[in-house]
Chains A and B, each alone.
Chain A
Amino acid sequence: MTIQDRDGPPSHAAPAEELAVGPPGVFARALDSDLWHSFKRSPVTVIAAVVTVLFLVGALFAPLLAPYDPFDPATLILMDGFTPPMTEGFSGNVFWLGTDDQGRDIFSAILYGARISLMVGFAAVTFGMVLGVSLGLLAGYVGGWVDGLIMRVADIFLSFPTILIALLVDGVARAVVPSAFHDTLAIYVLIFAIGVSTWVQYARTVRGSTLVEKNKEYVQAARVIGIHPGLIMLRHVLPNVMGPVLVIATIGLALAIITEATLSFLGIGAPPTRPSLGTLIRIGNDFLFSGEWWITFFPGIALLVLALSVNLLGDWLRDALNPKLR
C-alpha cells in the first residue's frame, strides 16, 4: 500500500498543541469537498451508497420494519411452511418472499439476518482494526525487538489466507468453549475469529506510515518537550496514519460480511436460533433439491447485493483518497 504520498493536509496543519483538538475537523473539511465531488460524479457509487444505507436502516430497525417476528415461536404457524413468494399461506397471511419449513417469513428473516451479519461485520472489523492499529503503532514507533516480534508474527499470519485463519481460529475457539455455550457465544467467537484473521493488514500499513511520521518534526518536537511516548503515539501519530486504515476497513467490511456468511454456511458460525444471512442460506440449502428455491435464493441475493455495495464503496473510497491510482 502506498502511504507516503498522502501526508498532506493533516500533518502540516497545526503545531502539536492545536493538533490534539483540531485534527478531525481539519481532516474532515480538507477531504470533504474533494470526496463529495468524486462521489457525485460516480452514479454507481451513489447507488451502492443508497443500497448500503437501506441495508443499515433495515437492519437497525428490523423489529419495526419486519412484517412478522420470525423468531417468536408464539406467532409462527407451522402450516404456513413452504409458502411460495407472493402467495397466501395456509393462515391467509401473504408472504412477499415466501416462508421456510417452519413458516417463518423470509423477508423478515432477511432483515433480522442482515442485522446479525452487519453487526458481526462491523464488530469484527473494529476488533481487527484496533488490534492491528495498536500493534502497528507499537511496532513502528518503539521499533527494536518489539517491532521484530510483531512483524514475525504478522509474517506467519500473512502466509495463510484470511478465510483459513478465520476457519481455524473459529474451529479452535469452538473446541475450547464447552458445547453448552456454543449458541450463546457463537457470535462472539465469530467476531474474534474474523477480527484476528484481519489485523495484519492494518498493522503493516500503520507500521509503514508510523515509520515515516516518526521522523517528522512535529513528532520530534513533541518528544523534545517531554510528552509521554504513549501520548505521542495516540494523539500525534495516530491521526496522521488513519487515512489508509479507513480505506482498508471499508473493503474489510465486505470481506468480513462474506467471511461471516461463509462460516455460518459451513455450520460453524451464527446458530440457527440467531441466524445471519449465511445461516439462512445454509437452512435453505437443505430444501433446494425439493424445489423450494426461494428459501435460499433471497437470502443469497441479499448477501450478494450487500457485499457488492460495500465493495463498490470501498473501491471508490480507495481511488478517491489515492490520486496516484488514476
Chain B
Amino acid sequence: MPGPGRWPAVVIGVGNEFRRDDGAGPAVIGQMRDLVPAGVELVITDGEPTRLVEAWTGAALAVVVDAVRADPPHPGRIHRFVMDRPGAGAARPASSHGFGLDEAVALALALDRMPGRLIVHAIEAADLTQGTDLTPVVAEAVGAVAAAILDDLGAGPRLPGQGRKTSVPGT
C-alpha cells in the first residue's frame, strides 16, 4: 500500500454524466484540466467506496466534488466542508450511485487510509433524471466550485466564505 505523500493532492469528481446534475462532479474535473498545478491528480469516479479510498490513499490533500440532495432544496447552492469522519457532510449524496462518501470515509478510517486532509465540495442538484445536460444553476455552480478547488490547491482566486466549514451560495 502506498504511504502518505504519494501525491501532493488529488481532486476526485464523483457522479454519472448520464444522470443530468449528477454529472456535476465530472463536469468540475473537466473544467480543471490544464489548470491544476503539477503533481495534482484529477480523477472521475462513480462513488463506489473502494474506488474513492484507492483514489485518495497516500494523498496529502484530497478534494471530492459531488452532487447532493438537500432538504429544503436550493439547487445550485454549494457546500464546502472538511470531512474527517462519516456523516460530517451537510447534505446527503444525490447521486444515482447513492452510497459512497460516508462509507468510503468509514472504510478509510478502518484501514488507516484517510488522506492527510479531505475537503468536500457539494453542489445541490435540481434534476437527477436520465440525460446528459446540467441544469443552468448547477452548470453555473460548476464553474464556482472549480475556482474554489483551485484555491484549495493554492492555485486560484479565493471564493467568498471559503476556508471554513460553511455553505456558499452558488448563484
- The answer to whether A and B assemble together is no
Please report B residues at the A interface, Cβ cutoff 8 Å.
Answer: none
Please report A residues at the B interface, Cβ cutoff 8 Å.
Answer: none
